[in-house]
């Protein structure tokens, strides 16, 4: 009550691809605050396209991109990593090193974005620890980040300091 949910939806739908990516890097390790669904999914798209681009580029340069890499895919909240396979050539080795560094550099902001998304959905950021559970943790987190924004969280954020949104 007192929350214009249409405004909240309009605010989230105004999130563009470039704005979401800018916020992703601008709030690199900020685990507090809120992150809407549009922001979250634009970043997922960006990370997926960037990872695909890296794989295609190194593949075109002759790297064996079919072998398991240290961190092949980064999804906000967790990384899917394979076993390291001995490099066959220097380009494959460069690909594995680059994709590993890419994954590590994006791990903290991905976790931070997921924590903000969980908070926006009215869930505790502590649920982020589910990322430590193989497969089931990722599925549970996926279900959680799909949840709509919780209007009560927005009301608490909009309330002046020291006042409850229920007063």
**Whole-number mean pLDDT of the chain?**
81
CA distance 88 to 91: 9
Q: Model's pTM, two decimal places?
A: 0.76
Q: Is the pLDDT of residue 79 over 60?
A: no
Q: What interhelical angle do 136-145 and 90-120 show, nearest 10?
A: 50
pLDDT for res 132? 92
pLDDT for res 162? 55
CA distance 89 to 164: 61
Backbone angles phi, psi at 146, to 5 degrees: -80, -15
CA distance 159 to 138: 33
CA distance 153 to 94: 45
13 pLDDT band (50/70/90 cuts)? low
Mean pLDDT value across residues 1-9: 39
| Rg from Cα positions in the chain | 19
Backbone angles phi, psi at 121, to 5 degrees: -85, 0
For 43-73, give the DSSP string. HHHHHHHHHHHHHHHHHHTT--TTS--TTSE
70 alpha-carbon distance from chain centroid: 18
Q: Is the pLDDT of residue 71 over 90?
A: no
* Token pair of 78 as six digits: 């967790």
């Amino acid at each position: 009550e007192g929350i214009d949910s249409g405004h909240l939806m309009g605010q989230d739908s105004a999130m563009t691809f470039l704005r979401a990516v800018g916020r992703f890097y601008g709030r690199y390790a900020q685990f507090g605050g809120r992150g809407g669904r549009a922001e979250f999914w634009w970043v997922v798209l960006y990370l997926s396209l960037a990872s695909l681009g890296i794989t295609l580029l190194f593949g075109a340069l002759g790297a064996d991109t079919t072998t398991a890499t240290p961190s092949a895919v980064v999804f906000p909240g967790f990384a899917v990593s394979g076993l390291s396979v001995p490099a066959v050539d220097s380009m494959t080795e460069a690909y594995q090193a680059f994709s590993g560094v890419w994954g590590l550099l994006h791990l903290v902001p991905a976790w931070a974005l997921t924590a903000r998304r969980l908070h926006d959905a009215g869930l505790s950021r502590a649920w982020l620890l589910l990322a430590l559970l193989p497969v089931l943790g990722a599925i549970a987190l996926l279900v959680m980040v799909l949840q709509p924004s919780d209007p009560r969280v927005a009301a608490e954020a909009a309330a002046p300091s020291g006042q409850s949104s229920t007063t």
